[in-house]
Amino acid sequence: MHELWRGNANAWECDELGHLNVRYYVDKAMQAVGTLSDMIGMRGAFGAEATATLIVRDLHVRFFAEARPGAPLVIEGGVGEISDTGLTAVLMMRHVAQGRLAASFTMTLDHADPRNARPFAWTQRARSAMDVLTVAVPDEAGPRGIERVEPAREVSLARADALGLAAPGRGRFGPQDGDIFGRMRPECAIAKISDSVIHFRDGFPEQWANHASGEPLRHASALLELRIVYRTYPRPGDGFVVRSGVTAAGEKVRSLVHWVLDPATGRPWWSAQGIGCTMDLDARKLVPAGAETLKRLQAAAIPGLTI
């Protein structure tokens, strides 16, 4: 594996749970992708003068050990697979001081025109460089609770209404959400869901009850695994609505699907599946769902709902 990024978990990147928010994991992973692009001869791929760039189409993340404020981190990785017009990047984030794995990332990226986002073939020079950067995919980088299925074809506002999906989030994309080409930055996908999920009562009823009580937050929702399918990249000024549903639940974890849609057209921006849990903020460990909570979660599950 090749070192692609080195830094830390800044205090301002950490949330109410006291650890690095999911959006910043992806932000740091994208910086690592930038380094990888340099190494395959695509210098400036994310700059204003780029003639080719890398666009994320599918992202899988597993979270292994939380990163608390100030934690020193490093990302190593390389190229897992190469297609005619893209590649799969494999990235492993580690706690430097502890030697522990913090997260793994598997990204499917298009080699594309930066303006119109159309994929095109690699040069022979780039392919030769990627051959040197090819790495074996560690077992930890593979899916655990999320099956590698083809994304659902029918993802729309009308379908969300028909399934009775909750609507925990709504908002707009601002200039701060866009990259140099005017497309949404990849980390914004999980950021918009993260900012909305507290309203998803069916997904985390115990956390909602805690907030309703007015007592200090002692148990909170956390993410163990994530997959995002980027369908269309929005631009600043576009709106979004988050529609969410539970697909399955056990004592320790619950599976949630989120469709993020354009409220003006009903078409999807992206869809995501997460494996979530409830974390004890004092003990810093997973809290099993009680019998009543588990019953409520299972009753809320929507058959056939997929990413």
Do the domains at 1-142 and 149-307 have one common CATH topology? yes
The pLDDT of 149-176, averaged and rounded, is 97
Q: Cα angle vertex 178, ends 174, 182, to 5°?
A: 115
Q: Residue 100's pLDDT band (boundaries 50, 70, 90)?
A: very high
pLDDT at position 65:
95
Residue whose entry in the numeric block shows the structure tokens 């609505």: 241
The pLDDT of 20-34, averaged and rounded, is 98
- Whether 202 shows a pLDDT value over 90: the answer reads yes
The pLDDT of 141-163, averaged and rounded, is 94
pTM for the whole thing? Answer: 0.96
- Closest alpha carbon to 83 in 45, 138, 35, 126: 126
Q: Residue 277's pLDDT band (boundaries 50, 70, 90)?
A: very high
pLDDT at position 8:
98
C-alpha span between 185 and 33 (Å, rounded)? 13
60-85 confidence digits (pLDDT tens): 999 999 999 999 999 999 999 999 99
CATH superfamily of this structure's domain 1-142 = Hotdog Thioesterase (3.10.129.10)
pLDDT at position 4:
98
pLDDT at position 147:
86
C-alpha span between 185 and 194 (Å, rounded)? 15
pLDDT at position 240:
98
pLDDT at position 217:
86
Q: Residue 273's pLDDT band (boundaries 50, 70, 90)?
A: very high
32-57 confidence digits (pLDDT tens): 999 999 999 999 999 999 999 999 99
The pLDDT of 85-105, averaged and rounded, is 97
CATH code at 149-307: 3.10.129.10
Q: Where are the alpha helices (DSSP H) in 40-169?
A: 124-133, 157-163
Q: Cβ distance 19 to 66 under 8 Å?
A: yes
The pLDDT of 170-195, averaged and rounded, is 97
So where are the chain's domains? 1-142, 149-307
Q: Cβ distance 101 to 93 under 8 Å?
A: yes
283's tokens: 């003990």
For 117-130, give one letter per residue: b (16+ CB within 10 A) or e.
eebeebeeebeebb
C-alpha span between 191 and 182 (Å, rounded)? 17
69's tokens: 């404020």
Residue whose entry in the numeric block shows the structure tokens 């003006």: 264
* DSSP code per residue over 164-210: T-EEEEEEE--GGGB-TTSSBPTHHHHHHHHHHGGG-TTT-HHHHHH
Determine phi and psi for 302, rounding to 5 degrees: -110, 110
- Whether 6 shows a pLDDT value over 90: the answer reads yes
Long-range contacts of 39-44 (CB under 8 A, 24+ apart): 39/2, 39/129, 39/133, 40/79, 40/126, 40/129, 40/130, 40/133, 41/123, 41/125, 41/126, 41/129, 42/126
pLDDT at position 148:
86
Q: Cβ distance 168 to 199 under 8 Å?
A: yes
292's tokens: 């009543």
Q: Cβ distance 36 to 77 under 8 Å?
A: yes
- Closest alpha carbon to 33 in 101, 110, 113: 110
pLDDT at position 218:
87
211-269 confidence digits (pLDDT tens): 999 988 888 999 999 999 999 999 999 999 999 999 999 999 999 999 999 999 999 99
